[in-house]
Amino acid sequence: MKVKVIGAGLAGCEAAYLLAERGVEVELYDIKPKSFTPAHSDKNFGELVCSNSLKSNDVYGNACGLLKEEMRVLGSLTMQAAEAARVPAGGALAVDRAEFARFLTEKIKDCKNIEIVCDEVKTVPEGWCIIATGPLTTSALSEDILRICGGQLHFYDASAPIVSKESIDFGKCFFGDRYGKGGDDYVNCPMTKDEYENFVTELVSAERAILHDFEKSEIFEGCMPVEVMAARGKDSLRFAMLKPVGLTDGNGNKYYAVLQLRKENISGEAYNLVGFQTNLKFGEQKRVFSMIPALKNAEFLRYGVMHRNTFINSPDCLNADFSLKDNGQIFFAGQITGVEGYVESAASGMLSAIHLYEKLNGRQPKIPDDTCVLGALSAHIAAPNKDFQPMNANFGILRPLENRIRDKKQRYSALAERALKTVREYRGSL
């Protein structure tokens, strides 16, 4: 029985390699080197386009560092390539991009169970397959994915930042929705006139991330960044996402401007800055958004992003094992599922392959629970969410500890210990 894997990025290579190592015959499809997407230039697979960093390597203090260790436990090809191509970068895992792609490609080519097919796939194949075509999926295949996913396909990612609940200063905000509706659904962060005007001044002058030419019109026509709206006039935000109308605290006080925060997950450990999709650089987001009094000491679990990122509405389309709800033989992996980042994409490729392999052998896939990052990402793509947006690894998506630990360093360490125990047990169950 052959399995088709469409796309030889991180997720596709991870999936193809894992299946092949388990004796499954794999056809790995990619358009390279016959043609290239607007963002790619290296003929090798697994090209890192945006950065050479796979983020922090801190297992016990950073969720992405923890995710990398979880992947090492399961034998990740991406982690092998990263170690082989590693360059000095302090506490981060950074790589020589060319060497990383070369190592990954050679491992794929040397695998006897993988047949590489250089060709464009225009329709979703029949039979067992994993679609891992990434944020620049070709137009023809995108149209067919639209067909099987019920017309739910996003062509850009415009996500607002997310902060941890514990880092919000609740002494400087209040619960409630406009005109007393919605109970405690929203956390309201008020600003005085001076605070608002200083915020707007810094917002419009802050440094922005550079977009690719092929992203510019699509993104800005579809969703306006908060800094662009602010530049249209000093009061523009007060008549949009920061409007104070209908918002009063328990004492009847009214405010000049109010940012609303909305729960990002069921546990309520993470909050989204409503309407704050942004193209500011990450450091600038931290600096400027922390000017809002209630967010002075905010811990950002995810920064806002605006870039070309084709992704499906996974909660409506996918099961937690990354298979299509309407066809259990079709799996998705990588950024197209709604995970954000190099490591997260590779991790989803690993998970989709593990689950497909279990099904091939007549077994019900075992899905790791949300006490580990792998399981939390699986839960993210499957949990009902009317405002679904891509997510990266962060401690806010993990199930909270039964016994609350106030010290952040100790809490993260405890979460990591629990996660690695979960993953080791998961490996033993396969």
pLDDT tens column, 343-402? 999 999 999 999 999 999 999 999 999 999 999 999 999 998 887 878 889 999 999 999
What length does the chain have? Answer: 430
Give the whole-angstrom CA distance, residue 352 versus residue 322.
Answer: 6
pLDDT at position 41 over 80: no
Q: What is the mean pLDDT of residues 45-59?
A: 83
Q: Go through 90-110 and write b for each residue having 16 or more CB atoms within 10 A of its CB, e for each that does not.
A: eebbbbebeebbbbbbebbee
Structure tokens at 417: 């210990």
**Pair of tokens at residue 11:** 């997720």
Residue type, 244: P
Residues of the chain with CATH 3.50.50.60: 2-155+308-424
Alpha carbon separation from 338 to 20, 42, 132, 157, 250 (Å, rounded): 25, 25, 12, 9, 38
pLDDT over 60 at 21, yes or no = yes
- Is the CATH number of domain 2-155+308-424 3.50.50.60? yes
pTM of the model: 0.73
- 214 band by pLDDT with thresholds 50, 70 and 90: very low
pLDDT at 16 over 70: yes
Confidence of residue 306 (pLDDT cuts 50, 70, 90): confident
Which residues touch 162 (CB under 8 Å, ≥6 apart)?
A: 264, 270, 271, 272, 273, 300, 301, 302, 394, 396
Query: Does the structure show a pLDDT above 50 at 257?
Result: yes
Q: Which of 124-133, 264-273, 275-284 has the lowest mean pLDDT?
A: 264-273
Instruction: Compute how many other C-beta atoms are within 10 angstroms of the C-beta atom of residue 328.
Output: 15
Residue 153's pLDDT is what? 65
Q: Where in the chain is the domain with CATH 2.40.30.260?
A: 159-307
CATH 2.40.30.260 fits 159-307, yes or no: yes
Average model confidence (pLDDT) across the chain:
88
Is residue 409's pLDDT more than 70?
Answer: yes
Can you tell me the distance from the alpha carbon of 205 to that of 287, in angstroms, rounded to the nearest whole number?
Answer: 12
